[in-house]
Amino acid sequence: MATRFYFGADAEETPISPTPNPSWDDTSILVRALTKTAKRGLALTNVVFTTTVTLDRDILFRQYISDELEPGQSIHGAQAVKMQCLIRGSDQGYWQAVSVLRLYVWNQTTTPKERKTIVSITRDDVDADVNVLTNRSLFVTSQAGDYYPTVAGDRLVVEIGLAQYLSE
């Protein structure tokens, strides 16, 4: 059965602080928060990012941390993953923005490390509207491969951001 996670808008104290993957080009506005499997009734917030950098890059906005996973759960490859959020691009002339997702299992119990990549950094393929806050969905398939049996201390980490790129 599918599991749905709900994200908070503001920074929260988290039990772990995973190091962002080096594939993210900019983590300067990273905020950590918790993710839960029940609606939280939290208000929306705007995340503002301004830059003078004119490079194609992925910018990490939020890192969401789940509760500990039950040991022995199986995470299989080639599964459907959907992210849904409200986004709006910025009016920076010829620069466009799309939503970006990364999903993995992190364990902090002994040596902190990423145990299983579920979704590598993946960009949406539709530009964010610069005038209207738009409900967007990103559909991806998790990485194929062997299943991963969870162990004590494993947590899901969902990283969300925007990609900035030069429009043609």
Confidence grade of residue 2 (pLDDT, cut at 50, 70, 90): confident
d(CA 160, CA 158): 7
Q: What is the pLDDT of residue 51?
A: 67
For 41: left if phi > 0, alpha if psi spans -120 to 50, otherwise beta; the answer is: left
Each residue's pLDDT tens digit, 13-43: 999 999 998 999 999 989 999 998 888 765 5
Confidence grade of residue 70 (pLDDT, cut at 50, 70, 90): very high
Each residue's pLDDT tens digit, 91-149: 665 566 778 899 999 998 878 899 999 999 998 887 777 778 878 888 898 888 878 99
The ranges assigned to domains in the chain are 6-166
**C-alpha to C-alpha distances, 3 to 48, 93, 117, 139, 168, nearest whole angstrom:** 29, 39, 17, 15, 38
Each residue's pLDDT tens digit, 41-54: 655 666 666 666 76
**Positive or negative CA dihedral for 141, 22, 147, 151?**
negative
Q: Which of 100, 132, 84 has its CA nearest to residue 23?
A: 100
| H helix or E strand, kind and range, residue 67 | strand 57-68
Q: Is 54 helix (H, G, I), strand (E, B) or coil?
A: coil
Is the pLDDT reported for residue 81 higher than 70?
yes
Mean pLDDT of 46-65: 79
Residue 5, token pair as written in the block: 């996670």
**C-alpha to C-alpha distances, 131 to 73, 124, 161, nearest whole angstrom:** 43, 18, 19
